[in-house]
Structure formats: structure tokens, C-alpha cells
Amino acid sequence: MANQALRKTARDILESGTDSGIRNVEEETMTSIKWILLPVGIAVALVLLASVSFAQQGAKAQAGRAYDPMNVETITGEVIGVEKIPSHGGKGYGVHLSVKTEKETIAVEVGPGWYVEKQPVKIEVKDILEIRGSRFASQGKPAMIAAEIRKGDRILKLRDENGIPAWSGGGRRPSK
């Protein structure tokens, strides 16, 4: 059917013997292309917007909540537990600490295992740490997303002042 239309159009051009027939075909072709490309362009834009939105939601969901730079505090306490929590995607795990302070026991989210294990500062049970981070409540219990962990004179830098993770590539060298 498309071949018949093409033959008819070609025959019309040859019979007319003018450039106007060619221009009409060009205009019709361009109009057809525009109507095809418009929905394709809209679909591509929607897919890109959706992927950016899901990526942002995924980053927040990965930590279970967002780092709040307006709610940062420093705690000091003894590590009473180090856990490797499997990530939601099934690849890897996150390092979490249980830290006993003078007032409470608090869960501390440190970072992905692949990153934490490569750092020169190693954290073990019975270590005394100073942790700066963003506090929140998890199931009614105190918790914190760590930005910086000090062990003696060594510092493990995990996030910048805005909470951007050092492992995301946006930060400086993570440890001193």
C-alpha cells in the first residue's frame, strides 16, 4: 500500500513537470516526520525525567531516609556492635554500628561495605568513637547517618557538610 502511494506521488511529480510537485511531497514528508518524531521526543523526555526521579528516590531509599544537614550533632561512645546489613538491591551490604553513649544506645549508618573496608580507619567492637552525623528516629529508636567518625587521631570522612556521600565521587579524599 505504501508502495502504491509512493508510485502515485512519483507519477504526480513527473506529470506535473514542475518544482511545485516536489515541494508538496517534501512538505507532506516533513509534516509526517514531525508527527512521528513529536510523540517519540515526548516519550524520551518522560523516560529521562522518570529515571532521574527514581534515581533520587533510590538514593534516599538506600539510606532509608535523607541526611539532614540542619540536624547534625556529635556523639561519643563505645562500639558494641558492627553489622553488615544486606542492601536492598541484593548486591553488597551496608556497615551499621551500635554505639553506647552515656545517655543511650544509638544505631549508626556508616556506608557501603565496599567503601568502608577500603578506608585506613578500621572500626571494631569496643572502639571509642566520636561520630558527627544527622540524627533521626528509626522505628521509634535513636539512629544517625554518620558524616565523620573519629577514632583516636584518625578520621573517617563519609559525607560532606551537605550529606553528599564521599563514595559518590562528589567529595574530597575521604580519610586522613
pLDDT of residue 90: 76
DSSP state, 87?
Answer: P
Classify 83 as helix, strand or coil.
strand
pLDDT of residue 8: 58
pLDDT of residue 168: 87
pLDDT in tens, the chain (176 residues): 555 555 555 566 556 555 555 566 567 666 766 667 656 656 655 655 554 444 444 444 444 468 999 999 999 999 999 999 998 877 899 999 999 999 999 999 999 999 999 999 999 999 999 999 999 988 889 999 999 999 999 999 999 999 999 998 754 444 54
pLDDT of residue 62: 42
Backbone angles phi, psi at 50, to 5 degrees: -65, -40
DSSP state, 167?
Answer: G
Asked whether the whole model's pTM tops 0.85, one would answer: no
Domains and CATH numbers, the chain: 2-63 (no CATH), 72-168 (2.40.50.140)
Opening angle at CA 172, ends 169 and 176, nearest 5: 130
pLDDT of residue 51: 46
